Structure 1
């Protein structure tokens, strides 16, 4: 009798423990699989949609010494747009496709003539901006300091701005065009110098502007951080789809990039957090900073053959809904992969994308599908939903680094009735894969270039 009573007590304790465990596994809108992997997220549809007004700043830009505030150039926080409600998503995705073609044309792994043909076609498109680069920061250039709003790009080496006297043409930008002759700290760089030749050997830039001059000048990152003798490009004949920005900051690992030029200051170390929506803010930080996210997991950076301006990474697998997809390891290794701040949509080998799409569609079978949005073929109509349950997507990188995407990093949102899976396939498994900026949203993405590693930390913007 006593044994039966103890058995009942033990069963009750076991039931209570399992109940408490279940409650813990359901907190914060998550559900977990038996192995402890996040299986799904339950989120409100409204959280996926941008606000029509700019949210108050919660970024770390105000608390860090060498930090710039990052905003989306098409959103209500941007000084560059007149009506943030008129974002042309089709145009953004088409520009994204153009950028991907350019990046892949630089890779020695390009197949079916992509490298040669794309390079020729893109060079012929004079005045076309190769990419979206939707995120901007504001820096100061010259003495006295002139504020310039620039796109930032981990796939470009050169920092440049439009300059007077604009021989030929300049596109329309929001701020006054920079006039080097009015800066007491500028110096012209001779075209026979090594620096000038480095400026001229950056094909991505030469597609859309003519660098008729180059200078070194004073670069102001923050009032406390000023870089003397900073080399930059002066574009005097420019056309392009830059959304009224004044130019671009090049963050690649290259001799002329801002990363290399400020190596003595910041040790070739920078990080950023891309905001969760066009109506919120993130940051771009140079150097190691005590205010950075403490819990960062690092994976090795790798070199991309014949494409030294890109940061290579090793993707090992993808987990959807807590279950690892059955994708042969050779699928990711055959073409290699990079991480890129200027590409919106992650491009995957067709074999990997097919497995991802199938698993995602199966998990989302209860929701109404919507028409495709250009390159995005898995879209849903959430206009009649208050909350949705979305399968988790986790990327596995080298050295055991698993990155669980934020729900906002799973979708590209055209409107509530057209919310699409933010991934697209390459032409072939042998093409270079690109880990895009949609998937990077809300993470502190850390580039320890000197240490040869890339880090991810959650909740990087708050």
Structure 2
């Protein structure tokens, strides 16, 4: 467990006091990558802004598509929701990652025993089934990863989930992958493509989150990533993580599996992209939001339990409320740890962009960048001070965004949906530097500013 213990540099605000189930959270593969990212991972080429925003939009399209398919359109005509196109395993950069330990009796290639193998996984609040790459897993079809690949054959505590068992049946139509040699199989469509997936055996092993906690954990053991035609989808991947830690509302997620041990709650704090001094944190479990948080009710969809959402009622710029009816925000906003730029109803976005331009008149406007249309050239500017942006939540609670969550690559860090009736998506750029607490059991979301 020693490799999961907090480093002395993680002291102060970053370390949540009184929690046994916390782990440092990093941005991958950005400025604060974990120390495990070396070699090929350290040399990974960052995508262009255009590529990043294209991947971001594919993920947004996937969320909207799932909701329109399963929730009777959630008020959106089916023709206005784009079916996501195949884009391989295009992982977004600067996503939140943590390190966990998988297996409690694990033999290395030298036959030395160790308490499991460390895996770096992406935190995903919009998926249900956790998975990691498992040996044998040649690249391709698997993607390269920085950590040693988890090998179930070397773990004395690994067990495949039997076909017909309650855990296998729980995967349901969306995630079931059939049966092979009496072992349950899973299939997880990637969030930015409905034709590419991770698939393999659904198994169980000991999982440690932090130095002093652990549970028996069910997850997908992936031996390859492919598209529907059976081909490898790893050629487009620059990801070096071991897999995905699903935190969605489905029964298969880490949160649901750990609820009996740690309570049905979790929180995280994503550091600003420019923060070089210390990482953020992830906490499994937690108490309901206190007075230190800006709290708001957690909304859930009836059929798709995966997503968590909140109700926006307005947006203010430098204390001035935009002239937008609360009815424009009726579809709510899905919280997503992997979408970068927040999506708004086009009516709300137009009003925000206009107000923002007014407050930024002293700076030189620049041409649009990919999907961002309110951009600036700050060359020669001694100091950049964007206006204060606040989100008005249900019950009138006001959440002020950190200044680092207002601009993205010198552009307003928001984008419009194609229809006012589509749900908004609160992305990780706006969430950074604040603790976001998901009290699933209590039906509430809390935001605590300046947490990391």
TM-score, scaled relative to structure 2: 0.81
The alpha-carbon distance between structure 1 residues 270 and 89, as it changes in their structure 2 partners (threshold 3 A), is same
Select which of 442, 448, 452 maps to 1:451.
442
Q: How far apart are the structure 1 equivalents of 2:195 and 2:310? A: 26
Summarize the alignment of residues 143-182 of structure 1 with structure 2, pairs less than 5 Å apart.
143-144=105-106, 145-166=116-137, 169-182=141-154
**Residue aligning to 1:4:** none
Q: Displacement of 1:360 after TM fit?
A: 0.2
Q: Are the equivalent residues in 1 in contact too, given 2:307–2:335 (CA < 8 A)?
A: yes
Aligned residues: 394
Q: Are the equivalent residues in 2 in contact too, given 1:396–1:403 (CA < 8 A)?
A: yes
The alpha-carbon distance between structure 1 residues 343 and 210, as it changes in their structure 2 partners (threshold 3 A), is closer
Q: How far apart are the structure 1 equivalents of 2:301 and 2:308? A: 7
> Is it true that 1:265 corresponds to 2:261 in the alignment?
yes
Select which of 334, 342, 356 maps to 1:346.
342
The alpha-carbon distance between structure 1 residues 427 and 324, as it changes in their structure 2 partners (threshold 3 A), is same
Q: Displacement of 1:187 after TM fit?
A: 0.6
Q: Are the equivalent residues in 1 in contact too, given 2:189–2:197 (CA < 8 A)?
A: no
Q: How far apart are the structure 2 equivalents of 1:163 and 1:85? A: 25
Q: How far apart are the structure 1 equivalents of 2:241 and 2:91? A: 14
**Residue aligning to 1:38:** none
**Residue aligning to 1:325:** 322
Q: Are the equivalent residues in 1 in contact too, given 2:149–2:242 (CA < 8 A)?
A: yes
Q: Are the equivalent residues in 2 in contact too, given 1:209–1:235 (CA < 8 A)?
A: no
Select which of 365, 369, 372 maps to 1:369.
365
Q: Are the equivalent residues in 2 in contact too, given 1:133–1:152 (CA < 8 A)?
A: no
Query: Helix, strand or coil: the match of 1:236?
Result: strand
Q: Deviations over 1:89-144 (max 9, x none)?
A: 222211101100000001223335244x50xx44xx27334766711100000133
**Residue aligning to 2:220:** 233
> Is it true that 1:190 corresponds to 2:162 in the alignment?
yes
Rg larger in 1 or in 2?
1
Q: Are the equivalent residues in 2 in contact too, given 1:133–1:151 (CA < 8 A)?
A: no
Q: How far apart are the structure 2 equivalents of 1:305 and 1:352? A: 26
Q: Are the equivalent residues in 2 in contact too, given 1:304–1:336 (CA < 8 A)?
A: no
Q: Deviations over 1:4-38 (max 9, x none)?
A: xxxxxxxxxxxxxxxxxxxxxxxxxxxxxxxxxxx
Select which of 333, 355, 360 maps to 1:359.
355
Q: Deviations over 1:203-260 (max 9, x none)?
A: 53474334221111000112210112x1000111114436211000000111111111
Q: Hey, which of these two has a bigger chunk of helix by percent?
A: 1
Q: How far apart are the structure 2 equivalents of 1:325 and 1:212? A: 49
**Residue aligning to 2:88:** 127
Q: Are the equivalent residues in 2 in contact too, given 1:158–1:257 (CA < 8 A)?
A: yes
Q: Deviations over 1:376-415 (max 9, x none)?
A: 11111112112123211100111222100110010112xx
> Is it true that 1:90 corresponds to 2:50 in the alignment?
yes
Q: How far apart are the structure 2 equivalents of 1:130 and 1:316? A: 32
Query: Aligned-pair RMSD on alpha carbons?
Result: 2.4
Q: Displacement of 1:457 after TM fit?
A: 0.9
**Residue aligning to 1:16:** none
Q: What 5-or-longer segments of structure 1 have no aligned partner?
A: 1-54, 414-418
Q: What 5-or-longer segments of structure 2 have no aligned partner?
A: 1-7, 68-72, 107-115, 176-187, 226-232
**Residue aligning to 1:298:** 295
Q: Are the equivalent residues in 1 in contact too, given 2:20–2:211 (CA < 8 A)?
A: no
Select which of 387, 392, 395 maps to 2:391.
395
Summarize the alignment of residues 17-32 of structure 1 with structure 2, pairs less than 5 Å apart.
none
Q: How far apart are the structure 1 equivalents of 2:44 and 2:388? A: 30
